Amino acid sequence: MAKKKFSLGLTIFACLLALIIGFVAAFFIYTYASRETGGDV
């Protein structure tokens, strides 16, 4: 099996993408899941 080569550019790109995806997904999912519903009816 060929040895995998470490690429700094790819790593930075992958980390930034993961950070953005994780942030946006968690922000909206948490906000939606924790919002108050109902009220007084």
Partner 1 sequence: MAKKSDAQKAAEKAVKKSHPATLILAILFLIVGAVAGVVLSRELTKNDKFELIGEKQVELVIGESYKEAGVKIISFGRDISDKVAYGGDFATMGEIPEEGIYQIVYTVDDFRWGDYQLVRTVIVGNPEGAEGLNNG
> Cβ of residue 10: shortest distance to partner 1, in angstroms?
6
Distance in angstroms (rounded) separating the CA atoms of residues 7 and 33: 38
Burial environment of residue 15 by CB neighbours within 10 A (0 to 12, 13 to 18, 19 or more)? exposed
Using CB under 8 A as the binding rule, whether residue 1 contacts partner 1 is answered as no
Tokens found for residue 40 = 């007084």
Binding mask 19-38 for partner 1 (x = CB under 8 A): xxxxxxxxxx-xxx-xxxxx
Q: Does 18 bind partner 1 (CB under 8 A)?
A: yes
Name the residues that contact partner 1, by CB under 8 A: 4-7, 10-11, 14-28, 30-32, 34-41
